[in-house]
Structure 1
């Protein structure tokens, strides 16, 4: 992808794309982002044009951007920006492999190809290390996207791809929708070897309510991932992958 003139007034509408800009060292071209863009910390000091998925188009227009970055999952929200006199690039990041391509695209557009190439080399090396050292035994995994109502991820989701690459078998993998509601009865029947969660549940939450009904919880086979790393399809997703891979690799055989 090429641009007639390299963009110098970039606005990022997604925390993931903001992280991509910083990953290639092009933050000097980043004019504004959103209030949800909290990494790296310097991103919080940029002007904000709204929140993720809620953009103040009138204010955005006054900044005279020459490129707007977003992710394809925001497509319905981007319709309202079609009238703006600047291009909107919605990056597709449905899998871990696609992040590689997206960051390189950002690097090339913002004249940061050398830095993007260095980042890409490191990213691929970390992915390769995980894939070359699979867990010694396959374990089933359930990811708690939200505790109440219970929501999870299927194999058709970005997080599901992380679970697969880490060597886990997703209990909800066959569900056709990416982020489905999941019944408690189905979770008990699935009897996952590992329960994976984020701050939406928290370690303290596992000790209460019905969670101790799960063998994985009673036997301490739980792992908390950093929410922004695992739920954001961006440069730090590999940190979540490595954390889950470490847990599954060190897992002991469940006691049934």
Structure 2
């Protein structure tokens, strides 16, 4: 069984993970809104946007709204141009004083660690749009909403359509597979943490044609014991730590009792991932699925 957390040592990490992975409630499953005429949206488009989530920052640049961004969090690190934008604080914990000094006409977020932050923003008369997104199928709607808000409806709708078509293609291919390899995703190594069936990355693994061993657990991210991983006997292990560790794969293979795991025996333990592609819901989701699919298929040969 998954192990329970017995100390507070993981609390800062868990908060970071929860925020970076946007694991709280996803976007609305209502049908995507029809994009308004470009001229109408442009006339009302905000000129000073602050993004409080790396996924939203990526989306803004992807739809051509990057020039309207005047503030970001320290976690907003892609694309490279975003790192030139002033920082308002950490993901989920913006400095309201810095935020106000930027005089934004639109603040975008997916979640706030400080429950009072939203209330304070309202008191400061800051326009705030809350866009929560976890499920891959909800990304097109999030993009279209951002497009309507920023005056880039056409670009957003075009990208959303590409993602919808790509997801449909991968979904069909995954459904046709008669055998899906078991995958263990290690988010952290001390203690061990992985993703459950409510996590974004678990859905990504499913689209790529694999099965996440954590899917048996109705959680987003949770702590596990070494014995649990050994019993599950994954065929592929992916080390996607939030902090780089070298060599993560080699260290994992040396753990007591893990030499009997199929992935270790067959040398199918991997690290050196660009975690932003796999752990961050955003416009590059098809690239993330393609990378995971390539990894899975290379082990089927």
- The aligned counterpart of 1:107 is 147
- The aligned counterpart of 1:44 is 83
2:93 to 42, 54, 57: 54
Instruction: Go from structure 1 to structure 2 and tell me whether the alpha carbon gap of 1:235 and 1:78 turns closer, same or farther (over 3 Å shift).
Output: farther
- The aligned counterpart of 2:7 is none
- The aligned counterpart of 1:222 is 269
Instruction: Go from structure 1 to structure 2 and tell me whether the alpha carbon gap of 1:187 and 1:158 turns closer, same or farther (over 3 Å shift).
Output: same
| Contact 1:71-1:90 within 8 A present in 2 as well | yes
1:100-139 alignment to 2 at 5 Å? 100-134=140-174, 135=177, 137-139=179-181
1:176 to 197, 210, 218: 218
User: Is 1:95 the equivalent of 2:135?
Assistant: yes
What is the CA–CA distance in structure 2 between the aligned matches of 1:201 and 1:112, rounded to whole Å? 36
Deviations 1:133-160 (A, max 9, x none): 3355211111111111100001111111
1:159-238 alignment to 2 at 5 Å? 159-199=201-241, 200=243, 204-208=247-251, 209-210=254-255, 212-224=259-271, 225-238=273-286
What is the CA–CA distance in structure 2 between the aligned matches of 1:241 and 1:73, rounded to whole Å? 28
Structure 2 unaligned blocks of 5 or more: 1-32
1:5-20 alignment to 2 at 5 Å? 5-20=44-59
Q: CA RMSD in A?
A: 2.3
Q: Using CA pairs under 8 Å that are at least 6 residues apart, name the structure with larger relative contact order, 1 or 2.
A: 2
| Contact 2:48-2:68 within 8 A present in 1 as well | yes
| Contact 2:180-2:210 within 8 A present in 1 as well | yes
- The aligned counterpart of 2:24 is none
**Residue 202 (structure 1) shift:** 5.1
TM-score (norm 2): 0.77
Aligned length: 253
What is the CA–CA distance in structure 2 between the aligned matches of 1:68 and 1:179, rounded to whole Å? 28
**Residue 203 (structure 1) shift:** 6.5
Structure 1 unaligned blocks of 5 or more: none
| Contact 2:186-2:192 within 8 A present in 1 as well | yes
TM-score (norm 1): 0.89
**Residue 213 (structure 1) shift:** 4.8
